[in-house]
């Protein structure tokens, strides 16, 4: 392994990491918003809207992100809708993540005993107050492990962004390998930078999950 090669490639990987983080976290943000929106729609109990959410969730969860990115980046321009590679990446990740987040939130809500809602309503709380102060806080705690797993999953899925010519970590590694054939050095840096991106999230998630469990147990 040539350390001089690794040192010379680090700035390229650093720039790729910043791009990957920016688009990845944009996707995570939209995934959370979309997932929460789907959960609220399901709580409205309007058959048509719930049906739309169900179709969206099943469609996105059962197709690869790679196919979804191809559709957004290469198919939409055929009907006059053109979006940049960065917007395509964050949008594709957000749509995919929204489907997974919606199921995670639904699972958290399913863990809440019906008596919780009934008790809150019997005390004079409105349905909105019941959802905000009773149901959603407990569901968030129950869903935390799934949310963190989804975040890590989505950040790892950024590895397919190279197919739409985004200079992310994977694109940088493949490009350097193709030009200079420094396979070991390039792949070593790729692993290191993915660890830099994902390990803090994993550790922070573990700490947060433990604190939530401790707070719940303490109550």
* pLDDT tens digit sequence for 113-126: 777 777 887 877 87
Mean pLDDT over 132-143 rounds to 75
- All structural domains of the chain: 3-218 (1.10.3720.10)
Q: What is the pLDDT of residue 214?
A: 63
Residue 87 CA to residue 182 CA, distance in Å, equals 31
Mean pLDDT of all residues in 85-111: 89
Cα(106)–Cα(48) distance, rounded to whole angstroms? 18
Residue 111 pLDDT grade (very low, low, confident, very high; cuts 50, 70, 90): confident
Interior CA angle at 51 toward 71 and 151, to 5°? 55
Mean pLDDT across the stretch 203-217?
A: 71
Please indicate whether residue 143 or residue 197 has the higher confidence score (pLDDT). 197
Which pLDDT score, from 0 to 100, does residue 215 have?
A: 56
- What is the average pLDDT value for the chain, to the nearest integer? 86
Average pLDDT over residues 41-49: 83
DSSP assignment of the chain: --HHHHHHHHHHHHHHHHHHHHHHHHHHHHHHHHHHHHHHHHHHT-HHHHHHHHHHHHHHHTS-HHHHHHIIIIIGGGGT----HHHHHHHHHHHHHHHHHHHHHHHHHHTS-HHHHHHHHHTT--HHHHIIIIIHHHHHHHHHHHHHHHHHHHHHHGGGGGGGT---HHHHHHHHHHHH--HHHHHHHHHHHHHHHHHHHHHHHHHHHHHHHHHHHH-
């Amino acid at each position: 392994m040539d350390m001089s090669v690794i040192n010379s490639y680090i700035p390229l990987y650093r720039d790729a990491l910043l791009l990957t983080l920016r688009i990845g976290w944009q996707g995570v943000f939209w995934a959370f918003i979309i997932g929460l929106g789907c959960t609220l729609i399901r709580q409205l109990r309007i058959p048509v809207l719930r049906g739309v959410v169900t179709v969206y969730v099943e469609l996105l969860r059962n197709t690869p992100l790679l196919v979804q990115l191809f559709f957004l980046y290469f198919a939409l321009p055929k009907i006059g809708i053109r979006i940049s590679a960065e917007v395509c990446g964050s949008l594709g990740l957000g749509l995919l993540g929204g489907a997974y987040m919606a199921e995670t939130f639904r699972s958290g809500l399913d863990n809440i005993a019906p008596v919780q809602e009934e008790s809150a309503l019997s005390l004079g709380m409105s349905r909105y107050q019941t959802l905000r102060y009773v149901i959603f806080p407990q569901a968030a705690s129950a869903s935390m492990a799934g949310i963190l797993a989804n975040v890590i999953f989505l950040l790892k899925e950024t590895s397919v962004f190279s197919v739409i010519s985004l200079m992310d970590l994977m694109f940088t590694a493949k490009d350097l390998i193709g030009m200079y054939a420094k396979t070991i050095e390039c792949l070593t840096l790729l692993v290191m930078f993915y660890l830099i991106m994902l390990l803090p999230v994993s550790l922070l998630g573990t700490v947060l999950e433990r604190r939530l469990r401790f707070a719940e147990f303490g109550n």
